[in-house]
Copies of this chain bind each other. A is one copy, B any other.
Amino acid sequence: MDLTEEQLLEAIRRVLSGAGPEVRVGAGDDAAVLAPTAGELVITADALVENVHFRRGPTGARDLGYKAIVVSLSDIAAMGASPRSAVCTLTLSRDVEASWVMELFGGMREACDEYALWLVGGDLSRGGEIAISITVTGEVAPGRAVLRTGARPGDRLVVTGELGGSAAGLRLTRLRKMPTKEQREAILRHMRPTARVGEGGVLARYGATAMIDISDGLSLDLSRLLSASGVAARLELGSVPVANLATLEDALGGGEDYELLATLPDPGTVDAAASELKEALGVSLSEIGVVEEGHGAVSVGDDGTEQPLEPTGWDHFR
């Protein structure tokens, strides 16, 4: 790295969002300042660490920056909240070029522009490995955040979009030949995931009783939602929307899809929410099961056979 910290920070400030009416003070001071809102403040943080969450070779800096924002933003979406601001801390190893850092911030800026999010601050440190920690804030009308805890027996389990695409895409990045168009699309689902922000808002408006984003695989995130709500569920395996080139196993345990898993109070609401999502956002909503009293999840196969659904997703400490 041939720049001093001050020079690099100055260069980064130029790609950060400028001060708009909402941003009273942007990057460059001790802290950023944002205009007051009538809503509640929603806040969440996530880190991406080199060789754990990404490898520098296959993942370009711009894609990585974009994805770092989406990963945190997805948690804001899962509350039914609107995104507002992002701050990041970035740890850089000695072998990182300044141009790589600028590309990374370029990707972060790109995602922020796409999701109407202000990137208002950053902090740089040296370290032995690259680590990107992003905090995203959002806003929600008082009392309207959708938690993991509200699912009730009888609610319908729904999921946006398709699952397993990211896992399939990750596998395809290891291909040693030129990918087909279909394969490129799957790779893109892994490299450039979508945060379901608009979808979270629609599901909240239709009275979602609980919601979570699927970051670690359907089976693990479903078990988190059920456990937080103190309920059980029956999952119809044949109804799980499996992405193109993915397997049911990818969908259940692959992770990084960033689709939303929610519970809606009745079939009529599911149909209405599905229509609106399809028309307004072009996104499918699949009913994949039902909430029951008890503990844990049971999967139901196409032939009616039932068995306990083991959470098979990503655990950093296993």
- A residues with a Cβ closer than 8 A to B are 1, 3-6, 8, 24-25, 28-53, 75-76, 78-79, 81, 85, 87-91, 120-129, 131, 133, 135, 137-138, 140, 142-143, 145, 147-149, 211-213, 228, 315-318
Contact = CB atoms under 8 A, between A and B. Distances in A.
Given A40-B35, A133-B89, A315-B6, A52 B213 contact: no
State how many copies of this chain the complex holds: 2
Contacts of A87: 43-45, 135
Contacts of A44: 30-32, 87, 121
A44 B3 CA distance: 23
Contacts of A43: 31-34, 85, 87, 120-121, 135, 137
Contact of A135 (B30, B34, B45): B45
B315 A78 contact: no
27 contacts: A29-B147, A30-B76, A30-B213, A31-B138, A32-B44, A33-B140, A33-B145, A34-B41, A37-B41, A41-B41, A43-B85, A43-B135, A45-B88, A45-B89, A45-B123, A46-B89, A46-B123, A47-B91, A47-B123, A47-B133, A48-B125, A50-B127, A52-B127, A53-B125, A124-B316, A125-B316, A126-B317
Nearest to A48: B125
Given A35-B40, A125-B47, A29 B137 contact: no
A116 to B, nearest CB: 16
